[in-house]
Amino acid sequence: MNKRSKTKTSRLKRLFATCAKVAGLLLLFGLVAGGALMAWYMKGLSEVVVAKFEGKKWEIPAQIYSDSKIIYPGMALDLERLDEQLRRLGYRRTQDEPRQKGEYRIDGKSGRADVYLREFNYPLRDFKGFSLRISTKSGVIRELERVDRNEQLASVELEPELLTGFYDRVWEQRKVVRLDEIPPLVRDTILAVEDERFYYHRGVDPVAVARAAVVNLQRGSVVQGGSTLTQQLMKNFFLDSERTLERKVKEALMAVVAEWKYSKEEIFENYLNEIYLGQNGAQGIFGVWEGSQFYFSKDPSQLTPGEAAMLTGLIRAPNRYSPYRNVEEATRRRNTVLAKMLQDKIISREAYETAVAEAIEPRQPVRARNGAPYFTDYLRKELADNYTKEDLTAEGLRIFTSLDMELQAQAERALSRGLEDLEKRYRHLRRKGEKDNLQGAIVVIKPQTGEIKAMVGGRDYQQSQFNRVAQSKRQPGSIFKPFVYIAALEYGSKATGRLYSPAMLVEDAQFTWTFEGQEWRPENYKDRYYGTVSVQEALERSLNAATARIARDVGIENVREMAYRLGIESPLPALPSLTLGSVEVAPLEVARAFGTLANNGVRTNVLAIKNVVDHQGVGLERRHVRVRKVLSPQIAYLANHMLQGVIDRGSGRGVRARGFKKPAAGKTGTTNDARDAWFVGYTPDLLAVVWVGFDHQTELGLAGSEAALPIWTDFMKLATEDTPATDFVRPPGLVAVAIDPETGYRATAFCPRHVRDYFPKGSAPEQFCPLHRAFDATNQQRVISVFPSEGKEATQ
């Protein structure tokens, strides 16, 4: 080789060496940079994973429950309604005697129901699960027996029903449980099917990936996944369901991070609480506990092998394998899982044969509904002072309310049917489209406690969320009149001090009331006047002139004071027109005020929320029944008696004509301009207020007895169907006195009319009638002989 070629070779060698060094350096740099980048990326992923695991994992909406229900011997009980209620509660009906909590059997022929009650966490009360036997005869409970102890029970409380939840965008129904609360049967089955090498890999399982790749290549499509349980959890926590390589890589890396940071038990527990298991209307079913309830009405600990298999099978495709949609697919999938359980020796051959042979009965789920949406909105406002939106939509609170689901459904039906009926009968009430449709509202309360039992704030919540029970203030019209009469019974005449009584006479004729320099002339309906009438008759017929005359005599301030005292909260102008209801009030406060009368003069606070507890069952808030005696029971009784007359004989007699026969008191209400129609009515146990009108104050042209009363009657007939007829309790301390109705004083033998009238003890007039004959002892003797039993009845 010559010198030149030697030099060329060594130059090439040097160049190659330099390139190699540079390449090496670049590679090293690349590795270091890549490693740093990867480390930075993994750090970011790690923070995300840690934040999720250690922060709040799920947004659990507050759950809202109805009131619990007491049943007792002697109570009317429709077994069909009981069946419906138990079904709503998620109980399973069986043919055989119930052996597990959550099962029940009803035998209509013998009138017997056997219910294995479940446990329920209720603040301050334990709903313990036990086997209850309800024996009925002719629709009445004869006996309640606790079967395991052979013990007769005086009453039993049935657990409250889930009404709805406060959710933000989506409703994820989920109960978070610990790993040890899920039985081994369920845990092992899920692992066997979803990730049998869970305890052997570190987040990603190359064996599973390779196996899936082979199978998929053979089939020519993606039929098997190689994702581990950890990867599935990462996907559900953070990622969308998009199937891209980038997403799969991210999922794998996050799984590795999770396995590095957390134990297998923590990962598995999160998985069991996270998995999506189907849909129930707007409600998504998440987690094994919730899935177990939704499909089987059982705790996971009660699941049979077949049920555990079905639940596990749902994970891959909850809607496709749902027994509610396709029993055949569900059965096939279940059996596939059962075969795997047998193969992995999770169950014995015998258990396998039994489970495979079980037929899946077609069932309908108990639909999650947003029952009582107006009531739910009302609750939200009530809670707003103490709870943020985040608290209500994400912290898993449980809110126990006063609502009665059956009464709510009945109220909704009555209002809807009633308004449709009005539109059918009266053409002028019909509207095209939904703008300014005829509207209505109904609120039902329990007078004894102030609890709201039903609230329907409008005709259709989807169309209008405006709550006409609580937010709308309208003129009550004649509904206001009872306050005048009660003030008259309590305060009497400003001029003479003489107390009014139901039999006293008053003039129903046109007159002018001059008040603070202004003149006002109350007019009767259709300009018809009845002359001299009794106070009771004036109220029964709802006579404007007579009422205004009484109010003038009693004093407008006293009328106002009485209305406030009974429970009206809206500002009331001290004007004569107030007596005929020329003011604006909400149906809810009308209910409260009349509730005071129904409750014997005891005013209660309106109560919707009873308890709020956190997700661990710790009590956050308790709202008590509050009472205040504001009227003597005697005056309340007299008021109720007069208002019973309204229904029996007066403007509210349509109630009786429509078939409601139980003792009840009430008042119709129509505004002068016929824009509002009201009816408020009550038994001693239940009160309902109905309002009908147009939102935009269009003339209705119908009286309360025509528009609102039929809806009230329809509702009350249903609502009180199974309850005994109870009458208003006459309190002690009412005295009967013979009075001259013309003057209101004690009658003498010379008075042309005497009636037996009633007064609270100590307030009966002592003075004899001065109009017809001056008092003397002889006359007094004669008066006593006219009513020989007076001495016995005079005092109670």
Partner 1 sequence: MSREEARRERPATAREPAPPPPVPPPTRRPAPPQDRYSIPTPKPRPKSPQQVAALHRVDRARALIASGQYARAIADLEKTLSLDATNPLVYFYLARAHHELAHFQESLDFLEVADSFSDGESVSRIELLILQGDNLRRLGRLSEARQSYEQALAIDPGNEKARARLRLVAKQS
Residues noted as catalytic: 194, 478
Residue 75 interacts with partner 1 (CB under 8 A): yes or no: yes
Cβ of 388: how many Cβ atoms within 10 Å? 11
* CB-neighbour burial class of residue 767 (10 A; exposed 0-12, middle 13-18, buried 19+): exposed
- Give 104's strand partners: 93, 115
Does residue 755 interact with partner 1 by CB under 8 A?
Answer: yes
| Both structure tokens of 342 | 């047998």
Q: Which of 374, 757, 768, 779 binds partner 1 (CB under 8 A)?
A: 757
CB of 79 to partner 1, least distance (A): 18
- Does position 56 interact with partner 1 (CB under 8 A)? The reply is no
Structure tokens at 234: 């990462």
Q: Among residues 686 and 692, whose Cβ is nearest to partner 1?
A: 686
Binding mask 302-331 for partner 1 (x = CB under 8 A): ------------------------------
544 touches partner 1 (CB under 8 A): no
DSSP 448: T
Q: At closest approach, how far in Å is the CB of 643 from partner 1?
A: 12
In the complex, least distance from residue 600 CB atom to partner 1, rounded to whole angstroms: 7
User: CA-CA distance, 73 to 155, in Å (whole number)?
Assistant: 7
Identify the residue among 446, 481, 565, 667 touching partner 1 (CB under 8 A). Answer: 446
Nearer residue to partner 1 within complex by CB, 334 or 565:
565
List, in order, residues 6 or more apart from 475 with CB less than 8 Å away. Answer: 581, 582, 583, 584, 585, 671, 675, 676
184-194 vs 229-238: helix axis angle to the nearest 10? 90
- Given a contact cutoff of 8 angstroms between Cβ atoms, the answer to whether 479 and 643 are in contact is no
Q: Is 600 in the site for partner 1 (CB under 8 A)?
A: yes
Contact code string over 157-186 relative to partner 1, x by CB under 8 A:
x-----------------------------
Please identify, using beta-carbon distances, which residue of 300 and 650 lies nearer to partner 1: 650
Question: Quick one: which of 82, 29, 268, 284 has its CA closest to 173?
Answer: 284
State residue 634 phi and psi, 5-degree precision: -70, -45
Asked if residue 68 binds partner 1 (CB under 8 A), the reply is yes
Nearer to partner 1 by Cβ, of 124 and 359: the residue is 124
Nearer to partner 1, 524 or 604 (CB): 604
Q: Which stretch binds partner 1 (CB under 8 A): 73-81, 113-121, 264-272, 673-681?
A: 73-81
Q: What is the rounded distance in angstroms from the CA atom of residue 87 to the CA atom of residue 79?
A: 12
φ, ψ (nearest 5 deg) of residue 144? -120, 125
Comparing CB distances to partner 1, the nearer of 1 and 124 is 124
Closer to partner 1 by Cβ: residue 34 or 724: 724
Largest CA distance in the chain: 169
> Judged by CB under 8 A, which stretch of 413-421, 478-486, 552-560, 599-607 contacts partner 1?
599-607
DSSP state letter for 432: S
Residue 137, interface with partner 1 (CB under 8 A)? Answer: no
| Residues between 652 and 681 with contacts to partner 1, criterion CB under 8 A | none
Between 195 and 540, name the residue whose CB sits nearer to partner 1.
540
Q: Per-residue x/- mask for partner 1, residues 715 to 744, rule CB under 8 A?
A: ---------x-x--xxxx-x-x--------
626 binds partner 1 per the rule CB under 8 A = yes
Q: Give the count of residues interacting with partner 1 (CB under 8 A).
A: 54
- Tell me how crowded residue 569 is: count the other CB atoms within 10 A of its CB: 14
Provide the b/e sequence for 515-535 (b: ≥16 CB within 10 Å). Answer: eeeeebebebeeeeeeeebbb
Name every residue whose Cβ is closer than 8 Å to that of residue 620 and which is 6 or more positions away in sequence: 397, 612, 613, 614
Question: Which 677-696 positions form the footprint of partner 1 (CB under 8 A)?
Answer: 684-685
Residue 502 near partner 1 by CB under 8 A? yes
Residue 503 makes contact with partner 1 by CB under 8 A: yes
**SS3 for 701?**
coil
Are 230 and 13 in contact, with CB atoms under 8 Å apart?
A: no
Residue appearing with tokens 């909260």: 569
Site for partner 1 in 450-469 (CB under 8 A): 451
In the list 105, 112, 649, 761, the residue contacting partner 1 (rule: CB under 8 A) is: 649
Report if residue 136 touches partner 1, rule: CB under 8 A: no
Shortest Cβ 652–partner 1 spacing (Å) = 14
Nearest residue to 632 via CA among 566, 535, 564, 726: 566
Least separation in angstroms between CB 581 and partner 1: 24
Q: Does 632 bind partner 1 (CB under 8 A)?
A: yes
- Which residue lies nearer to partner 1 by CB, 375 or 637? 637
Does residue 209 interact with partner 1 by CB under 8 A?
no
DSSP string, 375-387: HHHHHHHHHTTT-
Q: Which residues contact 459 (CB under 8 A, 6 or more apart)?
A: 415, 416, 419, 437, 438, 439, 440
Who contacts 150 (Cβ-Cβ below 8 Å, separation ≥6)? Answer: none
How far apart (Å, rounded) are the C-alpha atoms in residues 640 and 685?
Answer: 13
Residue 399 CA to residue 613 CA, distance in Å, equals: 7
213 or 729: CB nearest partner 1: 729
Give the binding range for partner 1 (CB under 8 A) out of 28-36, 121-129, 326-334, 576-584.
121-129
Nearest Cα neighbor of 488 from 438, 452, 538 is: 538
> Closest CB to partner 1 among 227 and 449?
449
Q: Does residue 483 bind partner 1 (CB under 8 A)?
A: no
**Using CB under 8 A as the criterion, which residues of the chain lie in contact with partner 1 when the complex forms?**
68, 70, 72-75, 123-125, 154-155, 157, 446-449, 451, 502-503, 534, 536-537, 540, 599-602, 622, 624-629, 632-633, 641, 645, 649, 684-685, 724, 726, 729-732, 734, 736, 755-758, 793
